[in-house]
Every structure is written in C-alpha cells, then in structure tokens.
Amino acid sequence: MDTWIHWFHLMAAILWVGGSFTMSLAVQPVLRRLLTDSSRFEVYRDIGRRFTILMWACWLTLLLTGLFKIWEIRETPSILFGPWGHILAIKLFLVACMVILTLLHTYSWGPRLMESANTNPNTKRVLVGRMAFWGKINLIVLAGIVFCAAALRFSSW
C-alpha cells in the first residue's frame, strides 16, 4: 500500500510541477515569439482552462496522499520535532505559498488580464509584468518544494 500511495503522490507532483515548468520554460517563450498578443492570450486561456482541471486533480491527489503519509508517522510523533519535522514544516509553508500564488494567477490576475487585453494597454502591461514576476517566484517555490521532498525522502533522521 505504501508503494502505491507514494507512486500516486509522485505522479501528481510530476504532472503539476513538470507541467508548470514546461509551460514557463518551453511553451510561453515559443508563443511569445510566434503569436500576437490577442492570439497568445486566447491560447493561454484555453491551455489554462485545461491545466486548471489537471491542477485540481493533482492537488487533491497530493493532499490525500500527503495526509496518508503524515498519518503513517503517527506512531513516531517525535520525528516531527527534529530536523525531519522542520523540513516538513518548510515544505508545507512553501506549498501554502504556491497555492496562494497559483490561485491568484488562475482566478484573479489571469481573468483580469483577459478582460484588459483589448482595452487598456497600461493595465495590461502591469498585469503581464505582475504575472511574469510572480510566475518566476512560483517556479522557485515549486523547486523548493521538490528539494524539501527529496530531503524528506532521503534523510537519515
């Protein structure tokens, strides 16, 4: 059972983190080069809608499998007060930051950018800059989460 739980946790993380890095490092630069703003925003919107479904499925899987993994260590609660527990706390803090940034991007900044795409160029420029900046921060946060996960899995504590 532990192997399956860990496998589902890893698959959800791979889909979410891999998808995020692929969009930022491979898809967006190509779209910026090949498409006009209005065409690019349509593609982003369509990809975003599909990716949001994947996001929620991954987050639900990560939540359920993560809770199961934490439940498994209930017999050794002292582990939470040592270095392993500190790394887990950092990972969970980073997860909370990632969730907040992603929800802002998906349900606030993205829709506002789509609304302003054909109207106000100043608003559009501010929103594009904000999304680009916080998108890069979110990638750094995701990398930190993966680092913490590796530290938790392969620690000797």
Q: 76-87: per-residue pLDDT in tens?
A: 777 778 888 899
pLDDT at 154: 80
User: How far apart, in Å, are the Cα atoms of 4 and each of 17, 61, 85, 107, 141?
Assistant: 20, 12, 23, 33, 26
pLDDT at 109: 83
Number of structural domains, the chain?
Answer: 1
Q: What is the chain's mean pLDDT, rounded?
A: 87
**Over pLDDT 90: what percentage of the chain?**
48
> CA-to-CA distance for 18 and 123, rounded, in angstroms?
30
Range of 116's domain? 2-154
How big is the CA angle at 28 (ends 57 and 34), to the nearest 5 degrees?
135
